[in-house]
Amino acid sequence: MSAAALSRHSESDLTCIDVFLFRWNSAHLIQKSVEIQCNGCFHSKHFSIIICIFVTNVLIGMVIGERKGDHIENERLLAIEANLVQKSPGGLTYMAEWRGGILDHKMGHLACFSGGMIGIGADDGAPEKRQHYLDLAAEITHTCHESYARSATKLGPEAFRFDGGGEATATRLSDRYYILRPEVIESYMYMWRLTHDPKYREWGWEAVEALEQHCRVESGFSGIRDVYTMTVSHDNMQQSFFLSETLKYLYLLFSDDDLLPLEDWVFNTEAHPLPVIRKSCLQEEATQDKTVSK
């Protein structure tokens, strides 16, 4: 589907995969439950929610207002790039696995979130490296898309390899299954938000059509045992992350950027949106508390 054709889709068109009838109103409920003031501060209607969010953000390494941990994250990214990021003979960039001191030229579907991760972190790196990291994010996301595009069902395997003459394909029977995982679509969403390159929406729509064709069953959606055959065998399981992550990221991919904007919200590993609480907001809260106490 071309970008022009995709842009003509109305919301009702997107619901051809019936589960899109689930409008994911929780996003709007979250935005209503937390008021965003003109200065960018978040004021919860219940102070206990502020405490929970603050603690959660600290635990996941978010330093409020000032990203003091960026140098640590940059060091980790440098180590990842130096030791794990590889380029295949065919020109595909991938994230290999390190096993007991030996590099395994295999990339798991789970690792495909790294395209989005590196993309959203690009702005926090050294200015002269920002475009480099955004390009790296795009290359990894492209490779993960290739793992989908090179299968018969246009869905990606659990893991794909770059050895034995194959690239971005599962060479072992034990890696050929798809259990409705979200990580590739997650990176599509982030890269769309960062670049607005229409290919990410096109790739996302390809996934929607593949899910509808191969994973749709009478009572919901099921994983499949082999993405390389059109004679689909379902595993009869709809994983919980399919609703909480896969469909949520698809919804956000085709939504406007002002729905849970990335500068105000952070998605944790299970795609739960958490508001970014800025240091200035906490200082304002402290000032207000002192005023009230007087």
Catalytic residue annotation:
158
Contact 207, 141 (CB under 8 A): no
Contact 213, 225 (CB under 8 A): no
Nearest Cα neighbor of 207 from 241, 172, 177, 249 is 249
3, two tokens: 């970008």
Contact 213, 273 (CB under 8 A): no
Cα 104 from Cα 166, distance rounded (Å):
14
Please name the amino acid found at residue 88. Answer: S
Contact 160, 151 (CB under 8 A): no
Contact 269, 244 (CB under 8 A): no
Cα 234 from Cα 261, distance rounded (Å):
36
Residues in the chain: 294
Contact 158, 109 (CB under 8 A): yes
Q: Please provide the distance, in angstroms rounded to a whole number, between the alpha carbons at the two ends of the chain.
A: 63
Q: Which residue bears the tokens 């990203």?
A: 67
Cα 194 from Cα 157, distance rounded (Å):
26
Non-local CB neighbours of 82 within 8 Å, separated by 6+ positions: none
To 5 degrees, how large is the angle CA 74–CA 76–CA 81? 95
